């Protein structure tokens, strides 16, 4: 889940001789704007965009990479050749997609912010495996009418900036542009989850098939609960990341919510998603699982030695498949994010 080395190389080359103190001040200003529900319009210069990239690209990449890995696990036959990244910013989601699917041959990155797109261009030059790229400036959803449909459409932290009244129009255009899979990633906040619920309901009503994280299209068990569906990805902080964020801890945990929806039906294997960090003690492992219309609690006793040994390594966000006896086993050895 670490940001690829070639992206770091691109950023470091451009930041040679630039004061990290100045970047830290710019990054804090940008963060305050976003916390105040502002948008990317505060990013006006190349240095603004580079400060943003240093602060946000690693965490955004980790979240999107996790979402795409889980999507690939649920839909192994999905091998996209074309990508449309809407609200692409510095291209973070596109780079995560390239690391997930080597079948990609063409990618289009669209964003309204020109300085952020320039960072995407800097990174693209360093990417040895980059497909044919089109990087275009434009507002969502108007810009979508000028783009060709793609196998994979990404909206990573992009719909957050839309007014509620504009969400349905944006979804209609995104879904029209999608030939196979649409993936939306939002902040892992109650507000972000509520937006995911709205998107989920709209896409199901328009013949979408949920790929991840849900393993069903029934009612969300957390729709009316106090808790909300989100996941977390831990990532290390590099030296510049620490300096610009004025941080003392050498890692951070990115909280996010996401949804992947396919235009074609997927296999139904009665799988369950782990909704929180497993509780492990000397007697048992306790898992909270997503099931249709309810949250299931599963207890794996230490007396079942083999199952208990495996369960100790289960991760929040990982997929578990239930067999006929109801026992849980790993759906994929790669698992989910380690916390």
Strands 150-156 and 82-86: parallel
User: What are the tens digits of pLDDT across the range 224-236?
Assistant: 888 999 999 988 8
Could you list the residue range(s) of the whole structural domain that residue 275 is in?
271-330
Q: How far is CA 220 from CA 64, 205, 211, 236, 258, in A?
A: 22, 15, 14, 32, 14
In a domain, 336, yes or no: no
User: What are the tens digits of pLDDT across the range 67-77?
Assistant: 999 999 999 99
pLDDT at 37 over 70: no
Q: Which residue from 8, 5, 6 is spatially nearest to 125, judged by alpha carbons? A: 6
User: What are the tens digits of pLDDT across the range 79-88?
Assistant: 999 999 999 9
CB 295 within 8 A of CB 275: yes
State the chain's mean pLDDT as an integer.
87
Instruction: List beta partners, residue 285.
Output: 280, 300
89/236 same-domain check: yes
Residue 30 pLDDT? 78
Alpha helices in the chain (DSSP H): 5-14, 20-35, 46-74, 92-100, 114-126, 164-177, 190-205, 239-245, 305-311
pLDDT at 334 over 70: no
pLDDT at 327 over 90: no
Q: Note every long-range contact of 195-198, with CB atoms under 8 Å and residues 24 or more positions apart, other chains counting.
A: 195/159, 195/160, 195/167, 196/229, 196/257, 196/258, 196/259, 197/223, 198/167
Say what percent of the chain tops pLDDT 90. Answer: 58
Structural domain ending residue among the three candidates 245, 262, 279: 262
In a domain, 201, yes or no: yes
236/281 same-domain check: no
258/275 same-domain check: no
């Amino acid at each position: 889940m670490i940001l690829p080395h070639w992206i770091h190389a691109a950023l470091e080359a451009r930041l040679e001789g630039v004061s990290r103190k100045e970047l830290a001040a710019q990054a804090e200003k940008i963060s305050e704007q976003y916390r105040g529900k502002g948008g990317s319009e505060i990013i006006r210069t190349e240095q603004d965009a580079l400060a943003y990239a240093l602060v946000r690209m690693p965490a955004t990449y980790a979240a999107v990479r996790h979402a795409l890995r889980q999507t690939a696990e649920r839909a192994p036959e999905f091998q996209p050749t074309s990508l449309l990244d809407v609200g692409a910013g510095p291209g973070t989601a596109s780079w995560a997609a390239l690391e997930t699917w080597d079948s990609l041959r063409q990618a289009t990155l669209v964003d309204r912010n020109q300085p952020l797109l320039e960072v995407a261009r800097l990174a693209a030059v360093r990417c040895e495996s980059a497909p044919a790229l089109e990087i275009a400036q434009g507002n969502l959803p108007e810009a979508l009418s000028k783009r060709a449909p793609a196998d994979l459409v990404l909206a990573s932290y992009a719909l957050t900036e839309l007014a509620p009244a504009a969400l349905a129009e944006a979804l209609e255009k995104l879904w029209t542009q999608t030939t196979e899979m649409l993936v939306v990633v939002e902040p892992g906040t109650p507000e972000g989850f509520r937006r995911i619920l709205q998107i989920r309901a709209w896409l199901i009503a328009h013949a979408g098939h949920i790929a991840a994280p849900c393993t069903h299209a029934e009612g969300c068990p957390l729709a009316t609960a106090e808790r909300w569906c989100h996941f977390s990805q831990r990532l290390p902080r590099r030296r510049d990341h620490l300096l610009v964020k004025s941080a003392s801890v050498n890692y951070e945990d990115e909280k996010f919510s996401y949804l992947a929806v396919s235009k074609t039906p997927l296999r139904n294997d009665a799988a369950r998603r782990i909704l929180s960090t497993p509780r492990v003690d000397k007697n048992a492992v306790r898992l909270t699982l997503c099931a249709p219309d309810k949250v299931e609690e599963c207890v794996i006793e230490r007396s079942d030695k083999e199952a208990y040994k495996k369960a100790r390594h289960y991760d929040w966000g990982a997929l578990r498949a239930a067999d006929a006896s109801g026992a849980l086993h790993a759906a994929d050895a790669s698992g989910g994010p380690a916390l």
